[in-house]
Amino acid sequence: MNYDDLIASMTPEIFKNIKRAVELGKWPNGVKLSDEQREICLQATIAYGNQNLHLDERVGYIYNTKKEVSNFDQLDAQIDDDIQVIDFK
């Protein structure tokens, strides 16, 4: 069984248990997750979410309520206005 098959075989209950273990840093029986286990479980929750959950239910989703131009767009426009071409002929 490869990694994709493993993620595809996860049930919603398994996903919730793994996600909870990552959040708390321990398994349901109280045993602490190692750093490696925590990393692998986090990767699994992200992969499961990408395959099975709506965008706003996924790990790391940030809801953006702003409808205005982003700071990066404003910065790009400002930089374009400030550009001076120097000719070294």
> How confident is the model over 44-75, as pLDDT tens digits?
999 999 888 888 888 878 877 766 555 555 55
Q: Which residue has the higher pLDDT, 57 or 77?
A: 57
Mean predicted confidence (pLDDT) in 29-36: 95
Global confidence as pTM: 0.65
Q: Which residues contact 72 (CB under 8 A, 6 or more apart)?
A: none
For 43-72, letters b (16+ CB in 10 Å) and e give ebbebbbeeeeeeeeeeeeeeeeeeeeeee
pLDDT class of 3 with cuts at 50, 70, 90 = confident
Ordered by start, the domain boundaries in the chain are 3-82
Average pLDDT value over all residues in the chain: 81
